[in-house]
Structure 1
């Protein structure tokens, strides 16, 4: 069995999200900040009449907050019936790999590891496959919507 991922860059690292969880990829749109949300919630944007919470993926992974430019994009995902936007540096491509090639993340204690489903080597690069439910399960993200 095979899986398909959309790969993208954050802080010069390659990540992937299962293609079935992605609803669209949007050009950067400034967000409206909200009070009393976690530091990694960049704000909300209007997605065709729906309030879309937008997460700064770099900040969520424990890195420095993104200073978005016109080159950044928002990946709109759907997890458990809820839409979330993720700010990423750039989208790379669609990759296909055999399911058995996915390896468990190392137990390094790094802040990123709890948000990973696993790692897969594709061509000459290592892709960190994000576990979207763990990334967006915080109740405070839901409160932003």
Structure 2
């Protein structure tokens, strides 16, 4: 039957911005992404959590900026010409900037092919797993998909 040909094309897909944080690639659901800006001067905010780098002025809007690296328990950010701030639009919190090492590409993943991670919540886990809600396959490459609510949440990952 020819119906099967159409089933393949009708699979639900989602688009993600592929970014590098450290040596790994992560995906951010494109629905959350409002803008991607180059690194700029960040004004520190006293007594903020260590992963909050401060605030930026983006076209007259004050946007808090946080480090994906520090939030995931990695080394502090090293800013290069590739470093970007991804401006995320969140319903309940407004806009927030997330510093990533590099923006790679937009990838389209088939929802059925996104695997849920096997999360080991024991004390041996690095904390990074808490921010992942799936693993997508882009060709031969695996991309960990950020759980945006967890990464921008207020909880410390100690």
TM-score exceeds 0.5? yes
What SS does the aligned partner of 1:134 have? helix
8 Å Cα contact 1:62-1:111 kept in structure 2: yes
Q: Alpha-carbon deviation of 1:47?
A: 1.0
**How far apart are the structure 1 equivalents of 2:43 and 2:115?**
38
Residue 12 of structure 1 aligns with which residue?
Answer: 23
Residue pair 2:64, 2:97 contacting (<8 A) in 1 also: yes
Aligned residue pairs total: 140
Partner residue, 2:65: 54
> How much has 1:139 moved relative to structure 2?
7.6
Look up the match of 1:29: 40
Task: Structure 2: state its 5+ residue gaps.
Answer: 1-11
CA contact (8 A) 1:40 1:65 kept: no
Of 39-48 and 104-113, more deviation after overlay is shown by 104-113
List runs of 5+ in structure 1 lacking aligned partners.
Answer: 141-145
Equivalent residue for 1:44, pick from 55, 78, 81 = 55
Q: TM (normalized to structure 1)?
A: 0.90
Q: Which has the higher contact order (CA 8 A, sep 6+)?
A: 1
Distance in 2 separating the partners of 1:131 and 1:21: 11
Aligned counterparts, 1:25-104, within 5 A = 25-81=36-92, 82-104=94-116
What TM-score, normalized by structure 2, do the two folds share? 0.83
Larger relative strand fraction:
1
Equivalent residue, structure 1, for 2:149: 133
The higher radius of gyration belongs to 2
* Stretch deviating more after TM superposition (63-72 or 16-25): 63-72
